[in-house]
Structure 1
Amino acid sequence: MIPPTIPTLIARAAEHPFLGEYLAMGHGEHSDIALARFDGHELASSYEPIFDISVHSLAQSLTSGAEGADRFGDELGFQAVTQRLDAPPFDVFDPFDRIADDQQLVVLDRMSRALHAINFFGAQRHGLLFLRVHERLLKSVKYDHGRHFSTVLVSFGLNPSRVVIELPAAAVAHKTFLGYLTTSYQRYGFKVAGNLSNAGQILSVSETARLDFIKMDAGIALRDATVKPLVGYASRLRIPLIFNRVVDEAQFVALQQYDVRFVQGPLFNAHYHDRAV
């Protein structure tokens, strides 16, 4: 089966009763990517790499310059970032705080997820696609979380199992809610990641909320000296732990002392030079 291209996926989106209103192929120098139009802005996709540093020596790659970007290691996947077309790479466009209406929030979220999926799968990227979910959206949608997006992906010929829905720390803090959300998204074929606001939150993760990934801010974990216990507890849970927001080589070197496997953050973005697809 031939993988769908971005133009093919946009053609399918044009026939969708909702997405056709917002998504289209780009223009000029951006004619090979999908764009979304929302609230007077043209929105595009950037992708932050998440590296498995147990496979290759990422530390050596960091000193090799932009031309060595492909030698960083094996990518577990990429986290999608919504940005304005005219903004610098990885300059996040976050209009959620400006939207008071919950239904409009749902529209923006569904449009953004579809945009990122089209640009990701249509460009034949490998690995997993990580998509953040806003806390307010989780409260706006009362039940069957993941059903709509799964239906869209399947209708486009795309596989939900390559998509990781990333839950905010506020959702992870509530054990019962976390269990419900995780079960719901996984029922519709997605993988689920949970963000921790602090190391203690990992105690909310259990067999009742069987996350596929856990994410933790590297700076906070290093500051609080909780990297080692986090790595140990996640290992006992058998859930991969990703340290994100790694900002410099000093943080990266410190993380390596504790057998950290997965990393993500501005340090790697700067070297990866991966402009909005």
Structure 2
Amino acid sequence: MIPPTIPDLIARASGHPFLGEHLAMGTGVHSEYAMAEFDGIQLGSAYEPIFDISVHSLAQSLSSGPECVDQFGDELGFQAVTQRLDGEPFDLFDPFDRIADDQELVALDRMSRALHAINFFGTQRHGLLFLRVHERLLKSVKYDHGRHFSSVLVSFGLNPSRVVIELPAAAVAHKTFLGYLTRSYQRYGFKVAGNLSNAGQILSVSDTARLDFIKMDAAVALRESMVKPLVGYASRLRIPLIFNRVVDGPQFDALQQYDVRFVQGPLFNAHYHDRAA
């Protein structure tokens, strides 16, 4: 079966009652990618790589340096990031926070995830697609979390099992809610990652909330001397642990002392050029 291209997926989205109004092919330098228009702003996709640095030796990793990250790490996947196409700075969560109406928030969140999925799958990227979900959307949708997005992906001919729904730390902090969300998204074919705001939150993760991935801010974990305990606890849970927001070489070197496997952050983004517009 020939995988769908971005134009193919945009054509399929055109029949969707909401997505068809907001998604289209870009123009000019962005003409090869899908774009979304919301409240007069044109939005596009970028992708932050998540690297598996265990595939090569520590000595090679350190000698190569982060500027050669593509030579010593394999991509586990990519986290989608929303960008303004006019070049103005854009914080993913600010537009959501300015929206008072919950239904409008749900619409924007769903539109963004569909946009990123189209640009990701339509360019035949490999690995997993990590998609953030806003905390307020989790509260606005009362049940069957993941049902709508799964149906959209299936209608596009895409496989939900390659998508990782990334839950905010506020959801991870509530063990019962975390368990419900995780089971619901997994029931509709997705994988689920949970962000930790602090190392202690990992205690909320258990067999009742069987996450597929855990994510932790590298700077926070290093500052609190919690990298080794986190790696050990995640290993006992048998859940892959991703240290994100790695900003410089010293942080990267420090993480490697503790058998960290997955990393993500600005340090690697600056040297990773294969992005969607």
TM-score normalised by the shorter chain: which range applies?
over 0.9
Deviations 1:215-273 (A, max 9, x none): 00000000000000000000000000000000000000000000000000000001113
Q: Which residue of 2 aligns with 1:183?
A: 183
Query: What letter corresponds to residue 221 of structure 2 in structure 1?
Result: A
Q: Which residue of 2 aligns with 1:62?
A: 65
Query: What letter corresponds to residue 160 of structure 1 in structure 2?
Result: P
Rounded Cα–Cα distance in structure 1 between residues aligned with 2:15 and 2:100: 29
The answer as to whether partners of 2:161 and 2:190 remain within 8 angstroms in 1 is: yes
* Unaligned 5+ runs, structure 1: none
Q: Which residue of 1 aligns with 2:256?
A: 256
Q: What is the TM-score normalised by the length of structure 1?
A: 0.95
The answer as to whether partners of 1:81 and 1:92 remain within 8 angstroms in 2 is: no
Q: Which residue of 2 aligns with 1:124?
A: 124
Q: CA deviation at 1:40?
A: 0.8
Rounded Cα–Cα distance in structure 2 between residues aligned with 1:192 and 1:262: 16
Aligned residues: 273
Deviations 1:141-198 (A, max 9, x none): 0000000000000010000000000000000000000000000000000000000011
The CA RMSD measured in Å over matched residues stands at 1.4
Structure 1 segment 238-253 matched on structure 2, within 5 A? 238-253=238-253
**Secondary structure of 1:109's partner?**
helix
Q: Which residue of 2 aligns with 1:164?
A: 164
Rounded Cα–Cα distance in structure 1 between residues aligned with 2:140 and 2:75: 33
The answer as to whether partners of 1:51 and 1:72 remain within 8 angstroms in 2 is: no
**Compared CA separation, residues 181 and 274, structure 1 to 2 (3 A):** same
Stretch moving more, 205-214 or 52-61: 52-61
Rounded Cα–Cα distance in structure 1 between residues aligned with 2:42 and 2:191: 29
The answer as to whether partners of 1:10 and 1:34 remain within 8 angstroms in 2 is: yes
Rounded Cα–Cα distance in structure 2 between residues aligned with 1:276 and 1:33: 7
Q: Which residue of 2 aligns with 1:201?
A: 201
**Secondary structure of 2:270's partner?**
helix
The answer as to whether partners of 2:227 and 2:255 remain within 8 angstroms in 1 is: yes
Q: Which residue of 2 aligns with 1:108?
A: 108
The answer as to whether partners of 1:84 and 1:93 remain within 8 angstroms in 2 is: no
Query: What letter corresponds to residue 210 of structure 2 in structure 1?
Result: R
Q: CA deviation at 1:59?
A: 3.6
Q: Which residue of 2 aligns with 1:236?
A: 236
Rounded Cα–Cα distance in structure 2 between residues aligned with 1:30 and 1:177: 40
Q: What is the TM-score normalised by the length of structure 2?
A: 0.95
Structure 1 segment 11-50 matched on structure 2, within 5 A? 11-50=11-50
Rounded Cα–Cα distance in structure 2 between residues aligned with 1:177 and 1:224: 27
Query: What letter corresponds to residue 65 of structure 2 in structure 1?
Result: L
Q: Which residue of 1 aligns with 2:71?
A: 71
* Unaligned 5+ runs, structure 2: none
Rounded Cα–Cα distance in structure 1 between residues aligned with 2:168 and 2:4: 31
Q: Which residue of 1 aligns with 2:51?
A: 51
Query: What letter corresponds to residue 159 of structure 2 in structure 1?
Result: N
Which structure 1 residue ranges, 4+ long, deviate > 6 Å from structure 2?
Answer: none
Q: CA deviation at 1:86?
A: 2.1
Matched, 1:210 2:210: yes
Q: CA deviation at 1:42?
A: 0.3
Rounded Cα–Cα distance in structure 2 between residues aligned with 1:203 and 1:174: 11
Rounded Cα–Cα distance in structure 2 between residues aligned with 1:49 and 1:91: 19
Stretch moving more, 227-236 or 94-103: 94-103
Q: CA deviation at 1:110?
A: 0.5
Q: CA deviation at 1:275?
A: 3.7
Query: What letter corresponds to residue 218 of structure 1 in structure 2?
Result: A
